[in-house]
Homo-oligomer: A and B are copies of this chain.
Amino acid sequence: MISKSEYEKAVERTISFFGKAQIVLTEEEKDAIEVADFGLNDLSHTGLELVTYLNTERVCAKELVLFPGQTCPEHRHPAFGSYIGKEETFRCRWGRVLLYVEGERTNPIKAKAVDGLYTVFHEIELLPGEQYTLKPNTKHWFQAGDEGAVVSEFSTPSFDEEDIFTDPRIVRTPKIG
């Protein structure tokens, strides 16, 4: 859980990153910026800031910000009910993002040390204009480079509450105190 003032500081910082990438948001979207600390209360290391443009029954689009060195922790998007799971594409718009997926371990990896349980280490480096598509239910995590990152996400519908995190300490739904 992060404090209200920490949340507001993170929102302002997120808006400044969108500005660097020349991404324009409406006032309503700025008010709806989500700051996910994943229950770890350590935003400078683990977290994700985002705006959801669209999440219909068929399509979802989000714009993500990662602060310098910030990590979105390892998770997967499983099937449930009649849904075959979320297919997710990340397109780097600004900065640099290190994405880790299932597959042969990259050694050494470029990411800074992460705190918690991580199990996939196949590295994909995304610079602006580069993108990568993840099939449903495949584990992944990602970390911004030293300047942070702005990343567009194109996907099938999002059901964040269904995401499965590798680290059992993690809670997806953000709580603000």
Interface residues of A (CB under 8 A from B): 21-26, 29, 53-54, 56, 58-59, 61, 87, 89, 91, 93-94, 128-131, 133, 152, 154-156
Contact = CB atoms under 8 A, between A and B. Distances in A.
Contacts of A25: 129
**Interface centre among A23, A24, A59, A133, by most B CB within 10 Å?**
A59
A129 B89 CA distance: 21
Contact of A59 (B22, B130, B155): B155
B89 A54 contact: yes
A156 B59 contact: yes
**Interface centre among A58, A94, A128, A156, by most B CB within 10 Å?**
A58
Contacts of A154: 53-54, 59, 61, 154
A87 B61 CA distance: 13
A23 B56 CA distance: 25
A55 to B, nearest CB: 10
Given A59-B87, A59-B154, A59-B155, A131 B24 contact: no
Contact of A91 (B53, B56, B58, B94): B53
12 contacts: A21-B22, A23-B93, A24-B129, A53-B89, A53-B91, A53-B154, A54-B133, A59-B87, A59-B155, A61-B89, A61-B152, A61-B154
